[in-house]
Structure 1
């Protein structure tokens, strides 16, 4: 079953009220927010990270945070009890989520992918919105329903975005 269908089945099974939004295919936070007619900060952005726990142990983490903020990889590593975190490759992200980068919802259906949600998610907006396993469909739902449903581990790991500069290409990748 495709991630989009798994996600909708889960929400339906749990009796969660949500709105399915169909739109032009888009995976960039600012662009898809404009298409959806929502604030960028309502977006629940999901990054697949690899966290080095020890010299021979790694954890795969789906880090979810408001799309108008930037992820701090060091804080993600610390929240997971690790030493260092990095973004997963496109191939690993696809393997762990079943989705292309930009379409990954803030849910994990893979036991090898731990969920970590930034403690600011849901604090500014009653509703969150996210790509629903596809670049051409999003789900809008109450933030408290999301948090109740996934019962995530939470930690502060995002901050307000700083202006991008040409000297920070890796940091820019964590922000986009």
Structure 2
């Protein structure tokens, strides 16, 4: 997969972090529809990519003490995050989706465009094990209508993610 250097218009903290790390990636852009009910399913349709290869980045709140208990969970856009499974993986009692404004403030990205890469603060990151079914996957590139395609191994290396069964 060729490294894509993109124009300044497509630069985000995520693409900057990947370039700095020498990680090959490809960018994919589409016109985001404000009326779309699901950012992820909209992206899968617009990019003509199977939904199980497109992963959404969610910020969850746990009872861990570090970083206000915030963690990142990455799951396919056509599946739901299993919060009980995430809590087990974190070694905590419970997990809930984080407040949108807290997620945005902590990651530096807007909801619907939160990338697991290049966040303001690196949070503990958990990736659904279905990622191993694919040679490449797509995650948000840091804004709505902008996705990054890369190998699961590169995503894991870049984010320090642990894989586990997180979706249902």
Matched, 1:127 2:148: no
Higher helix share: 2
Aligned to 1:13: 20
Q: Which segment is superposed worse, 40-49 or 144-153?
A: 144-153
Q: Which residue of 1 aligns with 2:145?
A: 136
Q: Please give the alpha-carbon distance, in whole angstroms, between the structure 1 residues aligned to 2:43 and 2:123.
A: 25
Say if 1:107 and 1:115, in contact at 8 Å, map to a contact too.
no
1:150-169 pair list within 5 angstroms: 150-159=159-168
Secondary structure of residue in 1 paired with 2:49 = coil
Structure 1: runs of 5 or more not aligned: 160-176
Residues paired across the two proteins, number? 154
TM-score calculated relative to the size of structure 1: 0.78
How much does 1:16 deviate? 1.8
Are residues 58 and 13 of structure 1, via their aligned partners in 2, closer, same or farther at CA, if it must alter by over 3 Å?
Answer: closer
Matched residue SS, 1:158: coil
Deviation at 1:62, TM superposition (A): 0.7
* Stretch of structure 1 that moved more, 13-22 or 29-38: 13-22
SS at match of 2:69: strand
Where structure 2 has 5 or more consecutive residues not aligned to the other structure, the ranges are 1-10
